[in-house]
Amino acid sequence: MKIAVVTPGILPVPSVKGGAVETLIDYILEYNECFLNHEIIVYGIDDNKLSDFNFSNFKKTRFHLFNQQSVIYRLKRKLYSYFNYNYYYNSFLDYFAVAIRKEISCLQFDVVVVENRPGFILPLSLCTNAKVVLHLHNDTLDKEAKDAKKILDKCAKIFTVSNYIKSKVDTIMPTDKVQIVYNGIDIEKFRNPSLLEINRSNFGLKDDDFVVVYAGRIEPIKGIKELIEAFLLLSDYEKIKLLIVGGGNGNNDESEFISEMHKLALSIPEKVIFTGFQSYGKIPSILSLCNMGVIPSICEDAFPLSCIENMTIGLPLVVTKSGGIPDAVDEECAIIVEKDSDLVSNLATAILELYIDEDRRLKMSTHAKERSKLFSKEKYALSFFSNL
């Protein structure tokens, strides 16, 4: 097949600047290069970091990258914004879809895959006879979304990353167009962490500490406040420590919320350690230092990859019943708690249960490693292409 892949238009592909969706696009391109024979054209944005990237490894993939900083592109976007006011997103993203539309209209594709941008579906469907597939990674398409019914009608298929996201799309109207394609990770990187010079002493932790890890963005919706409050309830257990790995949004800029979390933890400074932002390459090594993981989201997380990352390392988990998290874990590898008014005490109780019961932790660890195999990047890519 000849396939167009339309990126979200914020970060570059290949994923030289990271990004969950962008990394998942990398995986499908890699799988096609190794095992399939589709002709793929990726429509994305150019970036200075791509100047040193070796594209020669791609034999079946071409990249059409828009230089959004060029004078011509900026002028065209300015003209577009002058004559158009009814944006789906904003002039920046809406014009990106228009620029792609002009390119796609010149070529014959079998499938056009739109990554995580429901608002791109209508403009792109006007320029091609190809099947249009929306790959939805977030909760952005339900009966309340702008043009929801029109978008659903124009899609040949919609891939969702979890049952939760599927259920939201189904609020528009029940349809067999919606199929679940679970995300995946590079399991080998987590099974065999690189031999970085990282050990517990780097974070002020002792060998006999029981380390609970949260790795992800430090935002209110992620349940960090509730997690720290749970540790306030565990203050009598001096060996139980919380390692919070991450920053506000992929960097070490300290937001007002992060400052508040530092203040909240001041009464138990020896129990709560903030590492700040850590590059993704260090995460497997850091997780391998820990005894268990916790994902206390109070939002409806679509399908947090952190679940799979923790499981692949073999960490028993405490998670909230949130969005797509129950798709990723089961009760043999995780204690699942409701995100209700008792969340703080339930988190503390679950953490204490695992601290006390080593046999249970070992069984959960074994099952976590086994279950994580369901979410390899290879299984993800195979499911993606099989459902096209």
- Which domains are assigned to the chain? 2-181 (3.40.50.11930), 187-375 (3.40.50.2000)
The partner residues of 272 in beta bridges, in order of sequence, read: 242
Q: Please name which of 327, 349, 122 lies closest in space to residue 234, comparing C-alpha atoms.
A: 349
The number of residues in the chain equals 388
The identity of residue 153, as a single letter, is D
Q: Report the distance separating Cα 74 and Cα 89, nearest Å.
A: 17
pLDDT in 10s for each residue of the chain, 388 residues? 999 999 999 999 999 999 999 999 999 999 999 999 999 999 999 999 999 999 999 999 999 999 999 999 999 999 999 999 899 999 999 999 999 999 999 999 999 999 999 999 999 999 999 999 999 999 999 999 999 999 999 999 999 999 999 999 999 999 999 999 999 999 999 988 776 679 999 999 999 999 999 999 999 999 999 999 999 999 999 999 999 999 876 556 678 999 999 999 999 999 999 999 998 889 999 999 999 999 999 999 999 999 999 999 999 999 999 999 999 999 999 999 999 999 999 999 999 999 999 999 999 999 999 999 999 999 999 999 999 9
The identity of residue 322, as a single letter, is S
Q: Report the distance separating Cα 61 and Cα 347, nearest Å.
A: 46
What is residue 247's predicted lDDT score, i.e. its pLDDT? 87
What is residue 251's predicted lDDT score, i.e. its pLDDT? 55
Q: Report the distance separating Cα 152 and Cα 156, nearest Å.
A: 8
C-alpha 284 chain-centroid distance: 16
pTM confidence score? 0.93
